[in-house]
Amino acid sequence: MKKAFYILLLFILSGCFMGGTWEDNDDNWERIFYEEKPENITVNNSWFWQSSHWTYEYCFFIEIKNDPQFISKLIEENNLVKVENNEIDNDLLYFFSDKPEWFIPRGIKAYDVWKVKGEYENKKLFLDRQDGTIFLTDFSV
């Protein structure tokens, strides 16, 4: 009986029950950015998935109202590089999970695209060229 208790305790402490999917949840901002959402930021839509695996595996999509200061901060703090127009192709549309319908709803050519430099980096920023809406996604598995 004691052995079963320790096995159960090990599962709980390893985070195996902390997974889930949250859509348009107020806590998604903190799940994504590890900080409270600034009052001046408006989140239009968000989706966050975390596995119940003992390692931290996640996928997220978020749509944020245009905010030039936040865009600059996002690009700088994440070392994002702009993808040149002639390099924008459908390979940039590879996501770990099916993207929500609201995420980059127009053709890819309607967005300026930024990504982290590196073969194993998955963070992508899409900025709507018409209204500046921010679309951000990332995953780690």
> Tens digit of pLDDT for each residue in 92-101?
677 777 889 9
Q: Flag whether pLDDT at 118 surpasses 60.
A: yes
pLDDT of residue 117: 79
Q: Where are the domains of the chain?
A: 18-140
Percent of the chain surpassing pLDDT 70: 82
Sheet containing strand 80-83, strands side by side: 20-23, 43-50, 58-64, 134-140, 124-128, 111-116, 80-83
Given a contact cutoff of 8 angstroms between Cβ atoms, the answer to whether 134 and 111 are in contact is no
Average the pLDDT over 105-134 and give the result.
89
Average pLDDT, the chain: 85
Q: What is the pTM of this model?
A: 0.82
Phi, psi torsion values for 80, nearest 5 degrees? -80, 145
Burial class (CB in 10 A: 0-12, 13-18, 19+), 56: exposed
pLDDT band at 3 (very low <50, low <70, confident <90, very high): confident
Element (H, E) at 60: strand 58-64
pLDDT tens per residue, range 17-37 = 578 999 999 999 999 999 999
pLDDT band at 5 (very low <50, low <70, confident <90, very high): low
Q: Flag whether pLDDT at 113 surpasses 60.
A: yes
